[in-house]
Structure 1
Amino acid sequence: MDTPSFSLPGLRVLLADAGQRRSPVIRLELIRLRCQLVGVIDLVAEPAALEQALQRLAPELLLIDCEHPTPGLLAQLGQAQAEQPRAVLMVAEHMTPAEMRAALQVGVSALQLAGLPPQRLGALLQLAQARFDHDQALLRDLRQAQTQLAERKLVERARGILMREQGLDEEAAFQRLRQLAMDGGQTLASVAARLIDAHQLLRPR
């Protein structure tokens, strides 16, 4: 069976070499895949260089080539991913189940164990990028759902205030909020938040 052909034109890749010394082979394969290798950092010579390199070079994908992920490396990666998430492919000679879980928890998108066959690099890069995009979409959906829930709670709370203070029923209170939002060119949630703040300020202490 023929090996699938992959091309990732323009993908900005940073290679972090943690002692495996495979960067020449990886570099050639990245060129074949039409990726843009923005830099190679030596994590043996400069163990703490990862965060600064990521900030300076702004890659779309980080490729880490290591014997196994050390706690220090995972800590650096976790900090960097918290500041600016990106796709991460980690290649390791060996990794315990605990190290696998730790790597995934700090933002590694895809893992490759026991070496890196050059012909598989394209597929692994695509897997890492696809997994990252999928996870980011899930996070966006979660944040949107959380925002919508918080906004609904604000509207319900403001409607309750209008019902108590002005003797309105549920529908009339909602329509009042809606009219205020339309008149002021604001969202229901922002009007509700302002009404709640005003009520709290005027409430006897």
Structure 2
Amino acid sequence: MDTSPFPLPGLRVLLADAGQRRSPVIRLELIRLRCQLVDVLDLVAEPDALALALQRQSPEILLIDCDQPTPALLAQLAEAQRQHPRPVLLVAEQMTPEQMRAALQAGASALQLAGLPPQRLGALLQLALARFEHDQSLQRELRQTQTQLAERKLVERARGILMREQGLDEEAAFQRLRQLAMAGGQTLASVATRLIDADQLLRQR
């Protein structure tokens, strides 16, 4: 039984083959790992098909197998990741440092250089899943921090209004905001926003 944080059995994998023709080998290894290969996308025959395939198949992870990541491929990947972020394992026969940076910026979670040894596929999928979850966690923390900072600025601005209009000191103005929030079952930020909006309306008259 797979008890790892990112179990592979049942994992929905979309393989995008950009000319390496390793899909039979990858398919066999995915079967051994008990993953589900939802489709094999031929990016040589259909170079612009990545976004549509991702939308139709909704894989849990994307595996790209290429000679090297071209700007066109990375542009498709970046656009797909903007619309629906997901773990991406990018395998390439060769990559320059610049291509590696570009691939990571486009949304690749893990990179494998110089081919894909089948016995390493499971570990690489685990790495991509773990790196994606780590990056998503960092982004959630960043958004939370930005939200808290914005709310703090609103509260400070509302407190300034109360100090100006009601002659309160800083502590008394803050306590007044807390009382209003508790009485209305609202957050400090929502009460502050209403107070700021009301102040702006009054000043426009």
TM-score (norm 1): 0.95
**Counterpart of 2:39 in 1: which secondary structure?**
strand
Whole-Å Cα distance in 2 between the matches of residues 124 and 131 of structure 1? 10
1:55-110 superposed Cα distances (whole Å, 9 cap, x missing partner): 11111110000000111100000000011100000000001111111000011010
**Counterpart of 2:128 in 1: which secondary structure?**
helix
* Counterpart residue identity of residue 106, structure 1: A
Q: CA deviation at 1:185?
A: 1.2
Which 5+ residue runs of structure 2 have no aligned equivalent? Answer: 1-5
| 1:14 maps onto 2:14 in alignment | yes
Q: CA deviation at 1:162?
A: 0.3
Whole-Å Cα distance in 1 between the matches of residues 204 and 132 of structure 2? 51
Aligned to 1:100: 100
Aligned to 1:141: 141
**Counterpart of 2:80 in 1: which secondary structure?**
helix
Identity %: 83
Q: CA RMSD in A?
A: 1.2
Aligned to 1:63: 63
Whole-Å Cα distance in 2 between the matches of residues 155 and 83 of structure 1? 33
**Counterpart of 1:134 in 2: which secondary structure?**
helix
Which 5+ residue runs of structure 1 have no aligned equivalent? Answer: 1-5
* 1:29-108 map, 5 Å: 29-108=29-108
Aligned to 2:157: 157
Q: CA deviation at 1:204?
A: 4.2
Equivalenced residues, count: 200
Runs of 4+ in 1 over 2 A off after TM superposition: none
| 1:169 maps onto 2:178 in alignment | no
* Counterpart residue identity of residue 189, structure 1: A
